[in-house]
Amino acid sequence: MLDWEQIFATRSSRMRASEIRELLKLLDQPDIISFAGGIPDPALFPDAAFKEAYSDIFSSAQVGSALQYSVSEGYKPLREWIARDVAKIGIDCTPDNVFITSGSQQALDYLGKLFLSPKDTALVTWPTYLGALSAFNAYEPNYDQLSLNGNRTPEAYRDTAAKTGGAVKFAYLSADFSNPTGETIDLAGREKLLALADELDIAILEDAAYQHLRYDGEAIPPIMALDIARKGGIENTRTIYSGSFSKTLAPGLRVGFVVAAMPVIRKLVLMKQAADLHSSTINQIAIEHVASRGFDAQVAKIKAVYSKRRDAMLAALDKYMPKNTTWTRPEGGMFVWVTLPEGMDGAELLAKSIATEKVAFVPGKAFYADGSNANTLRMSFSCADEAMIDEGIKRLGRLISNAIRAAA
Ligand SMILES: Cc1ncc(COP(=O)(O)O)c(C=O)c1O
């Protein structure tokens, strides 16, 4: 039999199925309460609005162009809508600064491809979005921990990168309601990051997948908005902002976007021409149709539901979790991040939890580029109703209390 590994490129060695994915396959059982998937609740999709959008497209003269090849930059009216939407949060740009991707996941792949030569360093938060690590891994980088409390100098980052044979190229992070912790970076943290990036002369990849999902607290300007304000215009910025319609409208259409200075956009367009020519024409048109007619109402609707679920999860954690566990109190997004006592293992707990309590979550280790911090869990509240959340956390609290007692 052919030894495929011998002829695969070296980059493929870092593309591995995770053991967690294998465990999460068990979730198809109907009686499981799942806090595992970081996905929107399908009951909240604006399906009637999409039905109308596709019906309008098919009954108009536009149908020919909707089913045709289109430009790699993306559908112009959608790029215009996005430019107007991001302007509301201080990202002053033209539609030419907006580039449409097939989900914001594709933006992460392209940005990895654009910046990372093998052995270059990507700075990521500890923990970070697992899908970003998967996207960047194909370009064979090293990772270093991005710290925003000022305890590392630019030289320290530079030295570490040089020792591992490359240069620091970018810092990747979500400033609002990150996946997996749900946490937000405060204004001082955002400003420190801009100063660090200036010193290191690197790009900042700001992943804003959850930007619209703020339930309470004061909105903080995106890093890109702060960068534009400091530098006097988007063309002088080093931030590359990625956004998505997956969490607000629907992920199945695969429409995301990048906002950046023109030199970055021009390269991304060339990459798209080589990779898939353009994102689905008809889906971009449908997204623009739905967004321009009812984006704010849709966002208000899902925020009302998700914020109640967030409240239910925090209340249940307060009620049922044993003393030596801690968790985040997110102001938005879909996730709460739980830290168990040192020495406990989230993956072991998941196996037990599925078998005996029928509750699922994602063990936290996979979100660390160095595979550390096994004593953490990611809990999503987006797809369970309040009663299920209370019951699930009650069972999980019991399991964790027993495990702590057994270890004592
Ligand atoms: C932080 C973050 N970025 C990007 C993505 C990718 O989303 P999409 O490709 O659907 O836009 C996700 C999806 O879960 C995410 O959580």
Residue 62 lies in a domain: no
- CA 187 vs. chain centroid, Å, equals 20
Q: Same domain for 150 and 288? A: yes
11: three-class secondary structure by DSSP: helix
Do 301 and 289 fall into the same domain?
A: no
- Do residue 149 and residue 282 come from a single domain? yes
- Total tally of structural domains belonging to the chain: 2
State whether 213 and 279 are in the same domain: yes
CA distances from 97 to 80, 157, 242, 261, 393 (A): 10, 30, 12, 6, 44
Residue where one domain finishes, among candidates 255, 270, 294: 294
> Which segments of the chain have a pLDDT < 70?
18-24, 26-28
pLDDT at 26: 66
**Same domain, yes or no, for 191 and 319?**
no
In a shared domain, residues 284 and 332: no
- What is the predicted pLDDT for the residue at 20? 65
**Is any ligand 1 atom within 6 A of the Cβ of residue 179?**
yes
CA angle at residue 169 from 198 to 211, to 5 degrees? Answer: 75
**pLDDT tens column, 251-288:** 999 999 999 999 999 999 999 999 999 999 999 999 99
> Which amino acid, 85?
D
Is 56 within the bounds of a domain? Answer: no
For 275, the token pair is 């990779």
Q: Give the domain extent around 320.
A: 4-46+296-407
Indicate whether 79 and 216 sit together in one domain.
yes
- Beta carbon of 279 within 6 Å of any ligand 1 atom: no
CA-proximal residue: ligand 1, atom 16 (nearest): 179
Pocket of ligand 1 contains residue 109 by CB under 6 Å: no
Instruction: List Cα–Cα distances, 197 to 145, 292, 333, in angstroms.
Output: 14, 35, 26
CA distance 250 to 399: 35
Q: Are residues 116 and 255 in the same domain?
A: yes
On whether the CB atoms of residues 143 and 122 are closer than 8 A, the answer is: yes
> CATH number, domain at 172?
3.40.640.10
For 194, the token pair is 């801009």
Q: Are residues 175 and 78 in the same domain?
A: yes
Distance 129 CA to ligand 1 centre (A): 8
Same domain, 134 and 280: yes
Residue 16 confidence (pLDDT) = 78
378 shares its domain with 391: yes
Report pTM: 0.97
Contact 295, 372 (CB under 8 A): no
46 lines ligand 1 (CB under 6 A): no
Query: Is there a single domain that holds both residue 300 and residue 255?
Result: no
Hey, what long-range contacts does 77-84 have (CB within 8 A, 24 or more apart)? 77/285, 77/288, 77/292, 78/255, 78/284, 78/285, 78/287, 78/288, 78/291, 79/257, 81/288, 81/291, 81/292, 82/243, 82/257, 82/259, 83/259
In a domain, 266, yes or no: yes
Give a yes or no: residue 74 inside a domain: yes
Task: Write down the pLDDT at residue 19.
Answer: 64
